[in-house]
Structure 1
Amino acid sequence: DKVGKRGGAKPPIDRYVFMLNAVDDGYGGLEHRHSTALICNRRDLPQLGMKKAADGYVTLLGLISHEYFHTWNVKRLRPAEFARYDYGRENYTKLLWFFEGFTSYYDDLLLRRAGLIDDAAYLRLVNKTINQVQQTPGRQVQSVADASFDAWVKYYRQDEQTPNGTVSYYTKGALVALCLDLKLRAEGRGSLDDAMRHLWSASGGGPVSEADIAAALEAAGGRSYAAELAAWVHSTAELPLSELLRLHGVATLDDPSQPAQTLGLRVAESGGSVQVKVVLRGGAAEKAGFAAGDEWIGIELPAAGRKSAQGWRIGRLDDLALYLGAGKRCTALVARDRKLVKLPLVLPTGVTTWRLLAQDTGRVSKWLAPAAIAATKA
Structure 2
Amino acid sequence: MSSWAQAQHPIPAPRDEPYPGQIQLSVDATDLDHHLFSVTEILPVSKPGRLTLLYPRYLPGAHGPYGTVERLAGLQIEAQGRRLDWQRDTVDPYAFHVEVPSGARELRLSFQFLSAVHKDKGRVVMTPEMLNLQWISMVLYPAGHHASAIQVRPEVKLPAGWQQASALRPVATSGNADERLRFQTVSLETLVDSPLFAGRHLRRFELDEPGRARPVALNVLADDEAQLQASPAQIEAHKRLVQQADKLFASRHFAHYDFLLAISDKQGFIGLEHHQSSENGVRPGYFSKDWSKQTGARGLLPHEFAHSWNGKFRRPADLWTANYNQPMQDSLLWLYEGQTDYWGRVLAVRSGLISPEQSRDSWAEIAAMLSHRAGRLWRNLQDTTNEGAMARSRGDAEWPNWQRGADYYAEAALIWLDADTLIREKSGGQRSLDDFARLFFGVEDGRVAPLTYRFEDIVATLNQVQPHDWRAFLRSRLDSHGPGAPLDGLSRAGWQLTWADTPSEFAKADDSEWKTDDFAYSIGLNIKSDGKVAQVLWDSPAFKAGMSPSLQVVAVNGRSYKAERLSAAIKANQAGRDSPGGQAPLDLLVRDGDSYRHLKIDYRDGLRYPRLQRLAELPERLDSGVLKARQ
> Could you tell me which residue of structure 1 aligns to residue 540 of structure 2?
283
TM-score, structure 1 as length reference: 0.82
Q: In 2, Cα distance between the equivalents of 1:262 and 1:132?
A: 12
Secondary structure at the residue paired with 2:549?
coil
> What corresponds to 2:285 in structure 1?
43
- Structure 1 residue corresponding to 2:257, chosen from 16, 34, 58: 16
Letter in 1 for 2:253: P
Q: Which has the higher contact order (CA 8 A, sep 6+)?
A: 1
Conservation of the 8 A alpha-carbon contact between 1:101 and 1:169 = yes
What are the within-5 Å matches in structure 2 for residues 165-314 of structure 1?
Answer: 165-167=403-405, 168-188=407-427, 190-200=431-441, 206-237=451-482, 238-241=484-487, 243-256=488-501, 259-269=519-529, 273-300=530-557, 311-314=558-561
Residue 139 of structure 1: CA displacement? 3.0
What SS does the corresponding residue of 1:42 show, helix, strand or coil? coil
Q: How many Å apart are 1:76 and its aligned residue?
A: 0.7
Which has the larger displacement, 110-119 or 320-329?
A: 320-329
1-structure distance, mates of 2:366, 2:524: 18
* Structure with the greater alpha carbon radius of gyration: 2
RMSD: 3.0
> Counterpart of 1:262 in structure 2: which amino acid?
S
Q: The residue matched to 1:19 in structure 2 has which SS? A: strand
* Aligned amino acid, residue 161 of structure 1: W
Structure 2 gaps of 5+ residues are: 1-212, 215-242, 503-517, 574-580
Does the CA-based 8 Å contact 1:297-1:314 persist in structure 2? yes
Where 1:110 maps in the other structure, the secondary structure is helix
Match of 1:69 in 2: 306
Cα shift at 1:38: 0.8
Task: Provide the rounded CA distance (Å) in 1 between the counterparts of 2:496 and 2:398.
Answer: 34
Where does residue 305 of structure 1 map in the other structure?
none
Q: How big is each residue's C-alpha offset from its partner over 1:207-227, in whole Å with a ceiling of 9 and x where there is no partner? A: 111121121222211122222
Partners in 1 of 2:276 and 2:566 — Cα distance?
50
Distance in 2, Cα, partners of 1:40 & 1:218:
39
Corresponding position of 2:566: 319
Structure 1 residues 95-174: aligned runs within 5 Å = 95-153=332-390, 156=393, 158-167=396-405, 168-174=407-413
Aligned equivalents of 1:201, 1:105: Cα separation in 2: 17
Matches of 2:604 and 2:403, distance apart in 1? 23
Point out where structure 1 has 5 or more consecutive residues left out of the alignment: 301-310
Could you list the per-position Cα deviations for residues 113-150 of structure 1 after superposition, in whole angstroms to 9, with x for gaps in the alignment? 22444432322222222223224322333222110123
Structure 1's 225 and 10: CA in aligned 2 closer, same or farther, altered over 3 A? closer
1:339 to 595, 608, 614: 595
CA distance in 2: counterparts of 1:42 and 1:357, whole angstroms = 33
Higher helix share: 1
Cα distance in 1, alignment partners of residues 275 and 350 from structure 2: 24
In structure 2, distance between residues paired with 1:284 and 1:121: 30
Identity of aligned residues (%): 24
Question: Deviations for 1:238-295, whole angstroms, at most 9, x for unmatched residues?
Answer: 4452x543433334433247534311122211xxx30112221110111111121111
Contact 1:276–1:292 (CA under 8 A) maintained in structure 2 = yes
Contact 1:46–1:54 (CA<8 Å) still a contact in 2? no
Partner residue in 1 for 2:70: none
Which residue among 7, 20, 32 is the counterpart of 2:274?
Answer: 32
* SS of aligned partner of 2:389: helix
TM-superposed CA distance for 1:318, in Å, is 3.8
Q: How many residue pairs get matched?
A: 351
Query: What is the alpha-carbon distance in structure 2 between the residues aligned to residue 85 and residue 357 of structure 1?
Result: 48
Greater strand proportion: 2
The residue type equivalent to 1:180 in the other structure is A
TM-score after normalising by structure 2: 0.51
Give the AA of the match of 2:418: C
Q: Does the residue aligned with 1:81 lie in a helix, a strand or coil?
A: coil
Task: Tell me by how many angstroms 1:79 deviates.
Answer: 0.9
What secondary structure sits across from 1:190 in the alignment? coil
The one-letter amino acid paired with 1:30 is: L
> Which residue identity is paired with 2:602?
V
- Bigger mean CA offset, 96-105 vs 109-118: 109-118
**Per-residue deviation, residues 170-203 of structure 1 (Å, max 9, x unmatched):** 1111111111111111112631122232223679
| Contact 1:214/1:225 (<8 A) preserved | yes
